[in-house]
Structure 1
Amino acid sequence: MSSIASNKSPADLQAMPHWMQQVLGVASLAEGQSFDLGGQAFVVKDDIPRSKKLVSQAQAQTSDTFGFKWKKVDTFDSPASLARMREWLIERYGDLSKASWLGEHGESPLLIDAGCGAGMSGLELLGPLVPRLRYLGVDVSEAVDVARTRFQERGLQAGFLQADISELPLPKESVDLIFSEGVLHHTNSTEGALKSLASLLKPGGRFLFYVYKKKGPLREFTDDYVRDKLQPVSPEQAWKLMEPLTQLGISLGELNAEIDIPQAIDLLGIPAGRINVQRLFYWHVAKTFYRPDLTFDEMNHINFDWYAPANAQRQSIEQVRAWCADAQLEIEREVIEDAGITIIARKETRG
């Protein structure tokens, strides 16, 4: 996707898209300008409007954690890492460039990438579509700066906003498409963020998202225990603390051993059957990611992504379905995996 051609000049790509003023409803977005959006104070810094609003302590920690993670570009931007992400995204959402429903949203639909991070998921899933979209990447952290650079490097123009996705100051029913890959659960409330974003969708608009799924009791205990241990330390220290866990995953993976579980262990949520030892440990004891074509730092990045944020809720499919129904979202595609739940839903139309 990095080969996408563009006739935009470097100067064009560095500037904010002209449609940003219209979307935000402001007369000017000059550097250093302060303005009010929906009761929130914003300032334009380095060509990105940024919210001045304070966030909760937990969300501030999550912002710092992801700002640190996404600035370590070499831990996720290799061809192997991007190929893995692209393959996984298409398995869950389908190839959106061939989606039959895309034409329903007219020319140049407004798409909010809610929690865009460094733009990894947006570029890998949406890259070919970006020239057809008004792409607005939003993130609570300074990862938006990394995302803008990565879009520019690929010759793609996009808008960016640094703000809390749970309280986006945009008009209700003003957005055509919302994409939120693995972010809603990193807010103070998965349900609250989902419903707040859904209110921005036009009738007939679509919401594409992925959230963490609840695991078995041992894994849930370990997740919370390790996450609590990481909260008092800096992101740099948390990264280092992850390294022995990452090495354990590699050691288990290199065993390449399987065992038979003759009978389901219902008390621990472990199904019967033959399973690789590393995967058994990964799914039912602790997240220790392993993939032989990735580097140590790339695997550590994936483990850090899971354990370091203070906000990382897990939910059941029943909860997700109920939240969608409450938000007038009709589920069109539903993919349930051990790791999480992927949804494509359409906002109900009136009448």
Structure 2
Amino acid sequence: MRRRGCTPLVFIAAAAPAAPLKPELAGYISCPRCASALKAKPSATKNGEILSGSLTCSRGHRFRITGGIPRLVSGMSGTAVKTGRSFSSKWSRYYKTYHTKEWAAMQADWLIRRFGWKSRAGLDRFLRTRGTILDAGTGAGNSAKLLSSNPRSQVFAMDVSSSVDFAYKKFGGEPNIHFIQASIESPPFGGGGLFDFILSDQVLHHTRDTRKSAARLARLLAPGGQFSMYVYKVKAPIREMGDDYIRARTTKMTEGQCAAFSKEMAELGRSLSAIRQKVRIPRDIPVLGIKKGSYDVQRLVYWNFLKCWWSGSVPFEQSVATNFDWYFPEHAFRHTPREVRSWFRSMGLRITHFDEIESGISVSGKRPARRVKARVSKRAAAGRKQQVLH
């Protein structure tokens, strides 16, 4: 937690919270159990950061600050606790592979393309219009770093797992990134209306209820704010049946057993990729959900029959980690485009971008900005309109 004397910078659509303490982060977060304000009691500081101490609300709910990170995990279901533990296992085992330059660059490029920014410059232009940003499910922190290019913004990087420790170690020195250990089931941001941009990429399908988790995050949007998320898509029927059959077993394995199985899947994917032949499907096969076209062997098997992820562009251990990410968590729900569109309608968000690929669905939606009109003059509103609607 950084201790700064400046007033928290907030995009015009978000109301600045009343910060009772100097540490900037404490002006934004609230008790995840009762939504009341938190007061910090540092026990150790270094270079303006609170390294350890506690946060307490007016109702006596107390939370630790350790390693520079507020630990605000509270009120999770039993399965959510297990999911948090499974991802803690993943990050403690594989975090180094997620911090390689190759993986970070590949994921950044993939994210930018899926959400329609087209280039890093396009993303940066968008981020210059956002003052308060939530990265919900930051994992290794690469996405938080990507979102922090606007030095006048504040990026809140939240994850339920111990990944925040590895992320903080890598990116904790960034002046506008704040790491928080907290759950999407009970986000520590009070009544909402705080964030100009919320990203939850490859996360919500691992929660107990994807739709409800998305709705919780959407409630945190400020007027004019944007919510972008990616969730798994329902795949070909045999692949779906295979996933359910295998995951019913792998989710009951020990961490070591599932890691060994995930390695076997990566090895299988590598072996299939070594077959330098194309499989031509002359016409669609609707019963199997297979589209006509030309496939290499590994991709045909991967998308239609069995998840065995492998890529020669990243270290082998990263391929193992990607399979582990699918097979070990308690939940890995898949959804249809129709479902996702209906969620955004029910959340009162206007869809501004919708991208569907084999693996999943990337969608962005905006909260109407009309509620800010009472706060600003007509001239100010006109001058800011382009920025809000960018």
Range into which the TM-score falls when normalised by the shorter chain? 0.7 to 0.9
1:62 aligns with 2:83: yes
1:179 aligns with 2:191: no
Q: Say which one has the larger Rg.
A: 2
Shift of 1:41: 4.9
SS state at 2:158 partner:
strand
- Provide the residue aligned with 2:38 in structure 1: 26
1:115 aligns with 2:102: no
Any idea what the Cα deviations from partners look like across 1:176-233, whole Å, max 9, x if unmatched? 2111111111111110011111011111011121111111111111112221111222
Shift of 1:132: 2.9
- List runs of 5+ in structure 2 lacking aligned partners: 5-20, 30-36, 43-51, 372-390
Change in 2 beyond 3 A, CA 1:36/1:52: farther
SS state at 1:173 partner:
coil
TM-score under structure 1 length normalisation: 0.87
Is this contact kept in 1: 2:136–2:200, CA < 8 A? yes
1:342 aligns with 2:362: yes
Is this contact kept in 1: 2:135–2:144, CA < 8 A? yes
Change in 2 beyond 3 A, CA 1:350/1:269: same
Change in 2 beyond 3 A, CA 1:211/1:17: farther
What letter is aligned with 2:114? R
1:168 aligns with 2:190: no
Shift of 1:32: 3.0
Shift of 1:135: 0.9
SS state at 1:298 partner:
helix
What letter is aligned with 1:203? P
User: C-alpha separation between the residues in 2 aligned to 1:96 and 1:205?
Assistant: 20
Shift of 1:17: 8.9
Change in 2 beyond 3 A, CA 1:158/1:294: same
- Provide the residue aligned with 2:111 in structure 1: 89
1:98 aligns with 2:122: yes
Of structures 1 and 2, the one scoring higher in RCO (CA 8 A, sep 6+) is 1
Match of 2:71 among 42, 50, 69: 50
Please, which moves more after superposition, 27-36 or 341-350? 27-36
- Provide the residue aligned with 2:160 in structure 1: 140
What letter is aligned with 1:173? G
User: C-alpha separation between the residues in 1 aligned to 2:140 and 2:283?
Assistant: 43
Is this contact kept in 1: 2:135–2:143, CA < 8 A? no
Any idea what the Cα deviations from partners look like across 1:311-330, whole Å, max 9, x if unmatched? 11111111111100111111
Is this contact kept in 1: 2:39–2:57, CA < 8 A? no
Change in 2 beyond 3 A, CA 1:132/1:248: same
Change in 2 beyond 3 A, CA 1:156/1:247: farther
User: C-alpha separation between the residues in 1 aligned to 2:341 and 2:290?
Assistant: 24
User: C-alpha separation between the residues in 2 aligned to 1:102 and 1:111?
Assistant: 9
- Provide the residue aligned with 1:311 in structure 2: 331
Any idea what the Cα deviations from partners look like across 1:117-153, whole Å, max 9, x if unmatched? 1112332x32433x23211111111111111111136
Is this contact kept in 2: 1:17–1:157, CA < 8 A? no
Question: 5 Å matches for 1:231-242?
Answer: 231-242=251-262
Is this contact kept in 2: 1:329–1:345, CA < 8 A? yes
- Provide the residue aligned with 1:223 in structure 2: 243
- Provide the residue aligned with 1:211 in structure 2: 231
User: C-alpha separation between the residues in 2 aligned to 1:308 and 1:159?
Assistant: 28
User: C-alpha separation between the residues in 1 aligned to 2:231 and 2:167?
Assistant: 21
User: C-alpha separation between the residues in 1 aligned to 2:41 and 2:369?
Assistant: 34
Is this contact kept in 2: 1:97–1:128, CA < 8 A? no
Shift of 1:61: 1.8
Change in 2 beyond 3 A, CA 1:37/1:188: farther
Is this contact kept in 2: 1:317–1:341, CA < 8 A? yes
Any idea what the Cα deviations from partners look like across 1:76-118, whole Å, max 9, x if unmatched? 222222222122112112246535554544xxx1111101111
SS state at 1:165 partner:
coil
SS state at 1:82 partner:
helix
What letter is aligned with 2:289? G
1:331 aligns with 2:355: no
User: C-alpha separation between the residues in 2 aligned to 1:282 and 1:156?
Assistant: 41
Shift of 1:285: 0.7
Any idea what the Cα deviations from partners look like across 1:49-84, whole Å, max 9, x if unmatched? 213524222212211111122222222222222222
Change in 2 beyond 3 A, CA 1:81/1:158: same
Instruction: Identify the structure with the greater helix proportion.
Output: 1
TM-score under structure 2 length normalisation: 0.79
Any idea what the Cα deviations from partners look like across 1:21-56, whole Å, max 9, x if unmatched? 110243325233242399965322222221352422
Is this contact kept in 2: 1:166–1:197, CA < 8 A? no
- List runs of 5+ in structure 1 lacking aligned partners: 1-7, 9-15
User: C-alpha separation between the residues in 1 aligned to 2:247 and 2:61?
Assistant: 31
1:74 aligns with 2:74: no
User: C-alpha separation between the residues in 2 aligned to 1:41 and 1:323?
Assistant: 34
User: C-alpha separation between the residues in 2 aligned to 1:134 and 1:227?
Assistant: 38
Change in 2 beyond 3 A, CA 1:320/1:312: same
